[in-house]
Amino acid sequence: MFDFPQADVKTRLLNAILIPLTRLPGFRKKMFSNMKYHMIERFGPVLRDAKSS
C-alpha cells in the first residue's frame, strides 16, 4: 500500500511498450474504442480459476 508507483515494474514496462504504439492511429483507435473491455480483461484468469469456498 505504501509502495511508490515506480516500484511496479510490470506496469512501467507495459506503459513503455503500449503508449508509443498508441501514436499509430489504427492501434490507438482500436485500443481506445474498446477501453471498457480492456479494463476488465485482466480479471479473466482470476474469475476462471475461482473455486467455491
Interface ranges with other proteins (CB under 8 A): 4-6, 8, 11-12, 14-15, 18-19, 22, 28, 31-33, 35-40, 42-43, 46-47, 50-53
Around Cβ 27, how many Cβ atoms within 10 Å? 13
Instruction: Work out the angle at residue 44's Cα, subtended by the Cα atoms of residues 12 and 23, and round it to the nearest 5 degrees.
Output: 40
Q: Which residues contact 32 (CB under 8 A, 6 or more apart)?
A: 22
Minimal distance, residue 26 CB to other proteins, in Å: 14
Minimal distance, residue 14 CB to other proteins, in Å: 7
Minimal distance, residue 28 CB to other proteins, in Å: 7
